[in-house]
Amino acid sequence: MTEHRRRLASSDVGLLAAMKAVFLRDLRVAFRQRQDLVNPLLFFVMVVTLFPLGVSPEVSFLREAGAGILWVAALLSVLLSLDHLFRHDYDDGTLEQLVLQPQPLFLLVLAKTLAHWMLTGLPLVLLAPVLGVMVHQPGNSIAVLCLTLLIGTPALSLIGAIGAALTLGLRSAGVLLSLLIIPLYIPVLIFGTGTVAAAAEGAPVGGHLALMAAFLVLALTLAPFAAASALRISLSNS
């Protein structure tokens, strides 16, 4: 018997292999519906555009508020994309199969969440410098801003996964998801914008970044458990 067939017979897939399979599958599915990938980015750009138009295009205002505007826009954009995290898999039954796997569900949820971040959070980070220039941020601030988004957006995805799992299959899940998750996003927002503000004043940002990283580690270790148990509850509900 070849290695491959022996594996199939015992259906004994390692933890990392299972996570990798889930991760790659999510990426593949996402790239087959490219519009879904572009939408949160367009939303991000549009929300940022609203502020100069709605409040003031003055350089002095934008220089002061720019980092906050970008952070809020990124946060809303992640929030908007969360609905997709489990929805399609829930509708076509894939999620039930994932729950039935012998591998612990929280690891599979972690893999899905990482894929979600790769598809939404990371593009936002890459787009941020362009918008940073448009809202007149100095070069140093833009670099720090991107760094905070790089640390902060995975935390947003992880915390958001809990909300997405809790509201799965409910009527008006979108609004409810925002209501549940925005209060939990506030610390990430405060630390994120606080770091950029410190950098703009020329203060050292190492401590701020370490706090953000600590927050990310906390979300990384706890959120998948909460999201996995929330998924089980939502599935038993249907």
Partner 1 sequence: MWQFFHKLGSPKWFYGIATRLMPWLLAAGALLLLSGVVWGLAFAPKDYLQGNSYRIIYIHVPAAFLAQSAYIMMAVAAVVTLVWRMKLADVFVKAVAPVGLWLTFLALFTGAVWGKPTWGTWWVWDARLTSMLILLFLYGGVIALGRAISDEKSAARATAVLVLVGVVNIPIIKYSVEWWNTLHQPATFKLTEKPSMPPEMWVPLLLSVLGLYLIFGWLACIRMQSEILIRESRTRWVRELVMAGRN
How far apart CA 196 and CA 64 sit, in angstroms, is 10
φ/ψ of residue 12, rounded to 5? -105, 85
18 touching partner 1, by CB under 8 A: no
| Nearest CB to partner 1, comparing residues 18 and 231 | 231
> Using CB under 8 A as the criterion, what x/- string covers residues 112-151 for binding partner 1?
----------------------------------------
Angle 155-106-74 (CA atoms, 0-180°, nearest 5)? 20
Tokens of 76: 């809303």
CA gap 55, 53 in Å, rounded: 6
121's CB contacts (< 8 A; 6+ apart) are 78, 149, 153, 154, 156, 157
| Look-up of token digits 């362009």 | 130
| Positions in 157-196 near partner 1 (CB under 8 A) | 162, 166-167, 170-172, 176, 179-180, 182-184, 186-187, 190-191, 194
The site that binds partner 1 (CB under 8 A) totals a number of residues, namely 27
Binding flag, residue 229, partner 1 (CB under 8 A): yes
Interacting residue ranges for partner 1, rule: CB under 8 A = 162, 166-167, 170-172, 176, 179-180, 182-184, 186-187, 190-191, 194, 215, 218, 222, 226, 229-230, 233-234, 236-237
